Amino acid sequence: MINTLSDKQVKSLELKAEKIRELIMKMLLTAGSGHSAGSLDMADVFTAFYFHILNHKPKKPDWPDRDRLVLSNGHICPVQYATLALAGYFPVKELQTLRQINSRLQGHPHRGALPGLETSSGPLGEGISQSIGIALSARMDKKKFHVYCFSGDGELQEGNIWEALLFAGKEKMYNLTLVIDRNNIQIDGFTQQVMPLEPLRDKLEAFSWHVLEIDGHNMRDIVDAVNQARTISEKPTVIIAHTIAGKGVDFMENDFTWHGKVPNVEQEKKALRELRTLRGKIISE
């Protein structure tokens, strides 16, 4: 079981999440391209995992007993890169090379390019199948590590995801937890308008998954959900993390046009002022 969070730990994690959001804004401005909304809204989830939940060793990224985290919707890799750097996997200054020629930080993660990346991603819908393969091999080898897969909600419109969900349910893959970023947007609009997903919980339960729904910006909710997932021994668990697209930057929040757009210089300045104000409020609480 993972230790529950004290008030001090919650504040520390929240501050890290805001720092990650600031790093994301700076990376995207320098790159001139990338995905803002999803990267920002998953900062809390990534922070909770890399700084409290995961059993991992940044200085020994290939440690055999580490938990595996697979990012299926690889276009939000700025949040993963920023989190890995802050956790000590590689220098923070390297973040400013995002999407540049010969950089290790490309627009989608490439396994082997950076320490801490478990898989490569690009085409949507592959991460759950990759995670199932890792989890199944772990079970066959009697390994105790847990496999986590992060996916987007728009990504659930890919048919191969539902094939993977069926297989994981059939095989009762208790060592696999899926976290869905339910921010309700995708590049073309709101998910309910492009291709409705609801009733999402009912669908996932019908595929033999244990389903939890949380506030994806609440550190205690995130940790408690993972703890509950680890107690389920007869089926895989999916955590639907309800998030606000573009979280922390007022003019980006819940605006699908920021799915694949980056700020200009003036917008970045405004975003950083907002994020630093949020950090100040967390410190003063």
What pLDDT does 38 receive?
98
What pLDDT does 1 receive?
75
Give pLDDT tens digits for 207-242: 999 999 999 999 999 999 999 999 999 999 999 999
- What does the H/E/C string look like for the chain? CCCCCCHHHHHHHHHHHHHHHHHHHHHHHHHCCCCCHHHHHCHHHHHHHHHHHCCCCCCCCCCCCCCEEEECCHHHHHHHHHHHHHHCCCCHHHHHHCCCCCCCCCCCCCECCECCCCCCCCCCCCHHHHHHHHHHHHHHCCCCCCEEEEEECHHHHCHHHHHHHHHHHHCCCCCEEEEEEECCEECCEEHHHHCCCCCHHHHHHHCCCEEEEEECCCHHHHHHHHHHHHHCCCCCEEEEEECCCCCCCCCCCCCHHHCCCCCCHHHHHHHHHHHHHHHHHHHHC
What pLDDT does 231 receive?
95
Answer yes or no: are the C-beta atoms of 183 and 215 closer than 8 Å. Answer: no
Q: In what order do the strands lie in the sheet with 147-152?
A: 68-71, 147-152, 176-182, 237-242, 210-215
**Model's pTM, two decimal places?**
0.97
For domain 7-284, give the CATH number. Answer: 3.40.50.970
Distance from chain centroid for Cα 66:
17
Give pLDDT tens digits for 50-69: 999 999 999 999 999 999 99
d(CA 139, CA 122): 27
Answer yes or no: are the C-beta atoms of 2 and 226 closer than 8 Å. Answer: yes
Residues of the chain scoring pLDDT < 70: none
Give every CB contact of residue 52 below 8 A, 6+ residues apart in sequence.
2, 3, 5, 9, 13, 219, 223
d(CA 185, CA 256): 5
